[in-house]
Structure 1
Amino acid sequence: MSTVASKLPAVAWTARDDLAALVAALGPDKVRWVGGAVRDTLLGHPVADVDAATLHEPQTVIELLGQAGIRAIPTGIDHGTVTAILPGGNVEVTTLRHDVSTDGRRATVAFATEWREDAERRDFTINALYADPVTLEIFDWFGGLADLEVHRVRFIGDARQRIREDHLRILRYYRFQARFGSALDEEAEEACAELAPTLKGLSRERVAMELLNLLSLPDPSATVERMEARGVLPVVLPEAGERGIAALKALTTEESRQGVAPDALRRLAALLPAEPRTAEQVAARLRLSAAQKKRLVTAAAREAEPGEARALAYSLGRDEAIDRLLLAGADVSPLTGWDIPRFPIKGGEIVARGISAGPEVARILREIERRWVAEGFPNPERAGKLLDERLPR
C-alpha cells in the first residue's frame, strides 16, 4: 500500500495546459509524475524535464495520445518509453516496469501493474517519488522525502544489490551526492568502494557521460576527492591521483573567483597531468569526440606561464585559451566581450609585391602576423603599414 506523504507545490510546470491535455488523454488515475521533476520541485530547483509513469503499455499510450491529437514517438518502446511531443517541452512516458534479470550492464524488464513495483527498481529514494498529476499528492515508499530533508542520497533497499544490477549506479551515486548530498550514507559509501572494480565492465561511453556530468556540477571537488580516497576514481581515471585532485580544487576556486561557468572538459584536464600524450590516451579510452580530444590535448600542452590572454585566444581559440588561463590561475577578463579578429593581410598582397607564390609568402605572412598580434591586433590601416615596412611598394 502506498503512503501519501505530502503534496507537490503548485509551480509553473504543474499548471501547464499541454500537460493537462496529456493527463486527460491517458486518464488521471493512470499516470503520475515521477523522478527529477518531483525531486527538484521539492528542493526548489528549476525543472528542465518532466517524466511520467503510466499503467498503460506503450502501444496503448501511442494510441491514446494520437486520439487526443498529441504526437508520440516510440523512443524507447522496447523498455516501455514513449515521448510525447508537447509545446511546453517533451515528456517521456514510461510504462511501469520490474526487472526480470540484470547483469550489471543492462537489464531485461517486464511491464508491471503496481506503482510500488516500478518504484522498487529505481536507484535512489529521492528519485522514487511519484506525484498525482491532479491532486499533486506525493507517493513515497522508501523514505525519499526524509532523505531530501537532510540532503542524503540513499539507495533503495540493499545498496550492494542495486549496484550489482547496474554498475553505473556507483558513478550516479557520486554525481547525485555532489549535486544534492550533504549527509553521507555510510552503506552507500561502503558499497561503492567495495564494488568499484565492477566499473571496468561498463562501456566507455557510459563512464565518460557520467564522469563529465559529475564534473559539470558547480563544485564536485570534494566528491571527486572522496572517490579517489575510496578507490573509485582510480578505476575510471587512474591518471588523476592526489595531484589531479589538488589541481581540480584550484581550478574550481579560480572559476568561482573569476565568475567563469563550470566546464567539465576543463576540469577533466585539471585532473590529468600536463602531458598531451596522456590526454590523447584518456580521450581515446573514454571515446571522446574529436573536438573534445583536441581541447583536452591543448589543455595538456599548457605551460606555467600561459602568455597574454588575447594572443593565446587568437592562437588556440577562445575556449582553449580560457582553459589554459584558468588552469594557470591567470586572468581571463581580457577575453570578456572581445571577438577574435581576422588577420587583414592576404597572401595575394604579398605576391603583388613581387614575391613568388609559395613557402616564402607564407613565411612573410606569419612574420607580419606575429608583429600584428604583438601590437595588440591594430586596425587594418596599421596592418597595411606593417606590410609596407616589410615589403615597401
Structure 2
Amino acid sequence: MSVSNFFNGKYILVTGGSGFIGKILIEKLLRSCGGIEKIYVLLRRKKDNAPEERLKIITDYQLFDTLKKINPEVIKKLVPICGDLAKPKLGLTEEDTQTLIENVDIIYHGAASVRFDDHLRDAVLLNTRGTKEVVDIAMQAKKLVTFVHISTSYCNCDRFEVEEKIYPAHADWKSTIRLAEEVDQHTLSILSPKYIYPLPNTYTFAKSLSEHVVNDLCKGKLLATIVRPSIVVPSLNEPIPGWIENFNGPVGLLCGGGKGVLKTCYGEENSTFDWIPVDILTKLLILITYEKALSNDIDEIPVYNAAAGEKTVMTHKELMDYGRKSIWDAPYTNLLWYPSCSMVNNLYKFYAYFLLYHLIPALLVDGLLKAFGRETMHIKDFVHNMILTTDQYGPEQ
C-alpha cells in the first residue's frame, strides 16, 4: 500500500491548523493524499471571526493557490471545529466531541503557544493540559488509527546530546496541571524560575511535560508517535519555495537587521543552530504516520528528532553574513536605520550597545511620536527584543 492510498477514506483531526506548520501540513495532505474524506481543523473563535471565517482566511493564503488549480473542490474537505486548547475538554460542544469520537482516524496535535515568555500558568494550561485533553479525545475515538504529537527538540535543551527517547520528567505533569489550575498567578510567578529549572523558559518546560502526557496515557493503549522538530524555517520547495508567514526565529533576526531595527544581540558568533524546512517536516509527519500505523505496535511510542543534525550545520556568523549579502541584493523599503547587526558574547558590552543603538534611539522616536500626539511603541518593542535576545542566546542554553 502506498502512502497516499493509506490516507484514502480517512478522517483527520488537526490542532494548530492556523499555525505555520499546521497550514503546510493541511495543504500537503490535501494535495498529495487526495483520497482523504475530511480534515477537521480545531480553531478557536478569535475576536469577531468565527472558525468558519478563520478557515476561509487560511485557505485564501497564496499557499493554497497550487492546490486550488489542481483540485479546487478538495478545499471542501476542510471542516472547522470550534474549540480552544486552553479550556477544559478543549472548549468543545458535546455534539462536536461526539463527531470527533465517532469519525476520527488520525490526529495531528500541533497546537501550542511558542512564546518563551508565557506565564507558567498559560504555558501549562495550553501546552500541557491541552495535550492531555487532545489525548483524551484520542483515547475515546472509536476508529483511531494513530496519534501524532508534535513536540520540539528543545524540550530537552538542558542536555548536551538529545537522543530519540523520553527523558525523566522535570516535574509531575498531573501535579503541575493542578498547580496551574489552583494556585494564584502571583505565587506561580515567584515559584516559576525554581520550578522549571534547569529548563530556561516555560515553553520548553511545558512542552517537555506534554511528551510525558503522551507517553503515560498512550503507551500500551493506542498507536502514538512523538516528533521533535528543531527550528522550523521557510519551505525549501513546496508548495512555494521560501514560504513564511511569521517573523519567529532566525527569520525575525534577519528581518530586524535588514530593516535597521535590530543592531545587536547577545550570543556566540561561532555557535551553531539546527533548523528544518517546514515542507520537509510535513513530509516526515506524513511518512511517520504511515510507518507507525503499519507497525501496529502499541507497546512503544517512538520519538523522532526531526532535525538536520550535522548535515547542514551553520553558525550564527554565517547566517548574518548571508543576511548582509541578501540585503544588498534585495534591500528592504522604509528602513528605520542603516541595516547592520552584530552579535557579542560579552554581556556588559551587549548592554552598552543596547543602550546606544536601541534604547536611546527608541526614546528619541517615542518622544517625537508623543510630541505629535501619536501612540508610542518603540520602547516596548526594543525592551521586548532585549529580553528575547538574551533569553534565546544566553549562556544557559
TM-score by length of 2: 0.25
TM-score by length of 1: 0.26
Higher relative contact order (CA 8 A, sep 6+): 2
Structure of larger gyration radius: 1
